[in-house]
Amino acid sequence: MTDTANTQYPILLVHGLFGFDRIGPFNYFNGIKEALQRAGASVFIASLSAAHSNETRGEQLLVQIARILQQTGARRVNLIGHSQGALTARYAAAVAPESVASVTSVSGPNHGSELADRLRLAFIPGKLPEKVAASLTTAFGTLITIISGKPQLPQHALQALNALTSEGVAAFNLKYPQGLPNTWGGMGAAKVNGVFYYSWSGIIKGSLLSESMNLLDPMHNACRLLATFFTTEYKENDGLVGRFSSHLGTVIQSDYPMDHLDTINHLAGLTRHKANPVELYVKHAQRLKKQGL
């Protein structure tokens, strides 16, 4: 164990849609918490509704932030959110900036997801296919909560989907614009209301045969298929989120050779040899420490 990443404030990892802390031997942030702890960081993982709106999840996150501050005696926390977790973290920082030292978006749909747009168009509001899909996905979110052994939290799949569309995120951004770029593909303000903002993400590159161990990862193959549904950021996305849509605050890099799940070290670490997602989190914690966070 070292102290290279012993940040001044605790790190709170925030999961995305259908996320969890741990289910049996499986962690959402696979090996990331442990690596951060070995580097000296104090790390917690949020427990939020697996499927719900950004605001609902954000309110849940605020409760957990308050609990961590009371438990540790710290004044603030560093939030690192993956996917929808980035929007959840942004909400908490906008509402309670005095309790948040930094927000880091990892593969966050900060301008919406084209895939969510496609799914929203596929389900006509009020019609049977939408109702069936909503019931099934809401039930799935409930199942994740049950088998993860966490307290029951409300689930609402349609609100989650609407919260991730370009339209839904645009409405969210009007209320909580902190850290957003003024120009498409640019960087946002590095610091707003005393909160530092960062982001990183990946894109799917090359052919399937160039994937190294990812060739054996069924989730990567699914991401590669989903990537073909993008139009605005075609060939510039990770299967669920576009490269420039992910930009927030100081953009560390948005074209790492990783799909949407590689950035949380899934499945079983079958990631490309050119990028190590766990190292990215440790290096970022070292960055936060250097910044005095």
Q: What is the pTM of this model?
A: 0.87
Three-state SS at 231: coil
Record the tokens describing residue 232, joined without a space: 């605005």
Exactly one of 83, 199, 245, 246 is catalytic; which is it? 83
CB atoms within 10 A of CB 126: 7
- 99-108, 168-177, 225-234: least confident range: 225-234
Amino acid at 37: Q
Question: How many whole angstroms separate alpha carbon 100 and alpha carbon 103?
Answer: 7
pLDDT tens-digit profile of 26-63? 678 989 999 999 999 999 999 898 889 999 999 999 99
Q: Which of 82, 220, 260, 266 is flagged as catalytic? A: 260
Cα separation, 129 vs 153, in Å, equals 25
40-44, 48-52, 92-96, 130-134: which has the minimum mean pLDDT?
130-134
For residue 83, indicate whether it is catalytic.
yes
pLDDT tens profile 179-216: 999 999 999 999 999 999 999 999 988 655 555 555 55
pLDDT band for position 15 (cuts 50, 70, 90)? very high
Question: Cα–Cα distances in Å, from 181 out to 27, 87, 177, 184, 263?
Answer: 32, 15, 9, 7, 22
Residue 210: alpha-carbon gap to chain centroid:
26
Indicate which residue of 21, 117, 238, 259 is catalytic. 238
Encoding tokens for residue 27?
Answer: 């962690």
- Cα 59 from Cα 82, distance rounded (Å): 17
- Domains recognised in the chain with CATH numbers: 11-290 (3.40.50.1820)
Rg value, the chain, Cα: 18
Query: CA angle, corner 91, sides to 86 and 97, nearest 5?
Result: 110
The verdict on whether 238 is a catalytic residue reads yes
Cis peptide leading into 267, omega within 30 of 0?
Answer: yes
In a 10 Å sphere around its CB, with 0-12 CB exposed, 13-18 middle and 19+ buried, how is residue 200 labelled? buried
